[in-house]
Amino acid sequence: MQTLMQADNLAQTAAFLLLFTLVLVIVMAYLMSKQKALTKSMLIQSRRRFYSVIDCGGSQQVREFQPGDYVGKVLGPCGEGGQAWIIGIYSEEVKESMK
Amino acid sequence: MVEGASSLATWIQTLLQLLWMLFIVMLILGFNQRLQVYLWVRDIRSKMVILDSLASEARNRTLDFLLKNNAKNPETLLNRVQEFFVIEPVTIEPTDIIKRLEHLFNIRVRRFKEDFEKALSDVDEVVRGKAEVAAEITAVLNFIHKLVRHYLLLGEKTNNWVLIMQLQLQLSQILQIASTYRRALEDFLEGRPVGDAAGPMTAVRLAGPNAKWIEIERDTTYTEVDFEGRKLFIIKAKGPAPEVGKPGSAVEKIVKSLAEKGRTPSLIITVDAALKLEGEDSGTIADGVGAAIGDPGPEKIKFERVAAEYGIPLRAVIIKMSLEEAVMAVDKKIYEGVEKAVERVKEIIRSESSPGDVVIVAGIGNTGGVV
């Protein structure tokens, strides 16, 4: 009877240790994957598109940024005696479509 | 059979008890701490691989740019820039510290300019300016990598787990900064204005398309514009090469020259990009009092001194952004922030000066991608 009780205790202890180790491994794996995901998310480079804003006597037009564009660049006459010039350059993130 | 099982059970139970005791002894001896340090070191080393690759990529990209523009001895030039240093002036004797600091900065700028003029003699100053900034970004990334490696090795050598822990905790932020600089390199080389150009962009918008920009100080230009009966002197660094110029010296020169003619300015306004606090919206603006300029001292003090000497109100308008936005190409929020800043500067001029007055507006920041 005593031997059976000892065997029963042994099984309980072994089960507890197994469960404890399993939980420990899962928690550590979760923490490490979270850390890796955080690092990865910081380094992901989202694609950007660049635009130049052109002003002509108060009316504005946006076109793709071209090499050589800079803010304040005069592009030439426009409208009635006005000057077309670049008043701003900005970027926008390209939203990737879900596949 | 039952007796055999009983004996085995006793042995296993004894072994388990021994293991538990060993576990507790190891805890007392600090094994858990050693395991923790091992994990931290492993994490730091994995992130150092990323830092190393960012520094190498930046170096290769800069070398490509230099080679494409027929630079002489590009590797030697880049190695010199990477290891270049400025020793801070003595601070326990504060007399003339600004003058000494400015002197050292001037030498540094002149040294860089001369080196790049020699190496890139066949290209214009815009390309030279881009090469200079690219080399500086490469130097920053190289320095970050070297510094992290230094603290890791020092921590391991001296068994200083506090140092290793601090490094590991800060490394995510360091990695983010390094990654931002790496991306900013492309924007500078492509000639796109970065967030820090918000000040010069505001200045250009106020000046309009017909402004004639005249160089008044090294890499610093100004123009005169009429605005609702006032005469505006608008100052900014000379673009479109990435320069920050000497706006403090330029303002000082203009104020003194105007005062001699009996036309002392009634207002000085500085416009600059400023780092926002987490939670604040990018591109929002605010105005206040003082010189909005983030230099180490020599330029800022000139604004303060000249304004105090002639009793001119010194106003500041800031466009808020994160560090990432400040060094990377302007995004739409910052662009809209510039529009708001232009309107706020106009409001300040209208309400704090009268027709016939002279007002100085200084757009502070990097003029890469701005005239």
Residue among B189, B188, B193, B183 at smallest CA distance from B65: B189
Distances (CA, A) of A93 to B44, B226, B329: 31, 38, 11
pTM (2 d.p.): 0.85
Q: B278 or B7, which is more confident?
A: B278
pLDDT at B347: 97
The band of B38, judged by pLDDT with boundaries at 50, 70 and 90, is: very high
Q: Which tens digit of pLDDT belongs to each residue from B91-137?
A: 998 889 999 999 999 999 999 999 999 999 999 999 999 999 999 99
A43 vs B272, higher pLDDT: B272
CA distance B72 to B115: 10
Preferred mutation among A90, A92, A94 to probe B, highest tally of B CBs within 10 A:
A90
For residues B351-359, give the mean pLDDT.
97
In 3D space, the residue among B247, B218, B251 whose CA is nearest the CA of residue B129 turns out to be: B218
The pLDDT value given to residue A32: 76
Amino acid B4: pLDDT: 66
If DSSP codes are grouped into helix, strand and coil, which group holds residue B53? helix
Average pLDDT, chain A: 82
Q: Which of B23, B343, B371 to mutate to test the interface with A (most CBs of A within 10 A)?
A: B371
Subunit contact A68:B192, Cβ cutoff 8 A = no
Widest CA span in chain B: 116
Q: Is the pLDDT of residue A95 over 80?
A: no
Q: Which of residues 227-256 of B touch A (CB under 8 A)?
A: 239-240
Q: Give the range among A22-36, B60-74, B221-235 with minimum mean pLDDT.
A: A22-36
User: What average pLDDT does range B75-87 have in this prediction?
Assistant: 92
Neighbouring residues of B283: CB distance < 8 A, sequence distance ≥ 6: B319, B320, B321, B333, B334, B335, B336, B337, B340
Assess A66–B contact: CB distance below 8 Å, yes or no: no
* Alpha carbons B50 and B172: distance in angstroms, whole number: 11
What mean pLDDT, rounded, does chain B reach?
94
pLDDT at A99: 40
- For the segment A6-25, the average pLDDT, to the nearest whole number, is 78
- How distant is the Cα of B29 from the closest Cα of chain A, in angstroms? 21
Tell which wins on pLDDT, A97 or B94: B94
CB contact under 8 A, B369 and A70: yes
* pLDDT score of A45: 63
Query: Is B210 in contact with B337 (CB distance < 8 Å)?
Result: no
Nearest 10 degrees: Cα torsion A40, A43, A44, A48: 170
What pLDDT does B332 receive? 95
Long-range contacts (CB closer than 8 Å, 24 or more residues apart) made by B207-213: B207/A72, B207/B234, B209/A55, B209/A72, B209/A74, B209/A83, B209/A85, B210/A83, B211/A72, B213/B238, B213/B371
Split at pLDDT 50, 70, 90, the class of A20 is confident
Residues 6 or more apart whose Cβ sits within 8 Å of residue B151: B163, B167
The two structure tokens encoding residue A47: 């694609």
Q: With b meaning 16 or more CB within 10 Å and e meaning fewer, what string describes B6-37?
A: eeebeeebeeeeeeeeeeeeeeeeeeeeeeeb
Q: What is the pLDDT of residues B182-219, one digit of tens each?
A: 999 999 999 999 999 999 999 999 999 999 999 999 99
Give the strand pairing for B230-237 and B358-363.
parallel
pLDDT > 90: percent of chain B = 89
Region of B208 please: left (phi>0), alpha (psi -120 to 50) or beta.
left
Tokens of B8: 């085995």
pLDDT in tens, B263-299: 999 999 999 999 999 999 999 999 999 999 988 889 9
For position A98, what pLDDT does the model report? 43
What is d(CA B1, CA B349) in angstroms, rounded to the nearest whole number? 101
Average pLDDT over residues B299-328: 96
Cβ pairs A/B, distance under 8 A: 103
Lowest mean pLDDT across A39-43, B20-24, B76-80: A39-43
Q: What CA–CA distances, in Å, run from B345 to B10, B118, B220, B362?
A: 86, 41, 21, 11
